[in-house]
Amino acid sequence: MRFDRVALHLALGLLIALLYGAGVAKAVEAPAKPSDASGLSDKELKAFAKAYVDYQKIRQTYAPALEQAKDPARKKQIEQEANAKIKRSLDAQGLSVTRYNQIFAQVNSNPPLRKRVLQQVEEERRRS
């Protein structure tokens, strides 16, 4: 069971990487006025929070099916469906995979920014 969980987490972690590798990233508009020293605008942070919540929902939806799928072709199909939903979410928020990952890295390396984004994530979860 432990191996299955590790494999599941690796597969889910690869969802974003697969999108990046498939070249689906789009150029991002020039960001609006930065909200703080991070250089990230309020608009980008809100878009990131929405995309993050969407990603978590997609992961929760597809993780059980991915874990239960025994056939490699079925696993690939599940991953492709999840990837398509993630791409649509990022596109809807005006974020590329590259930009999403850049923001994610900035948020994780900046405790005050992380606290602020986590508040936005909680607000987004309540709204959706």
Give the model confidence (pLDDT) of 11-62 as tens digits: 444 444 444 444 433 333 344 444 455 789 999 999 999 999 999 999 999 9
In percent, how much of the chain has pLDDT > 90? 69
pTM of the complete model beyond 0.85? no
pLDDT of residue 63: 95
Q: How do the domains of the chain map onto residue ranges? A: 2-127
The Cα–Cα gap between 31 and 10 comes to 32
* Torsion angles phi and psi, residue 24, rounded to 5: -90, 0
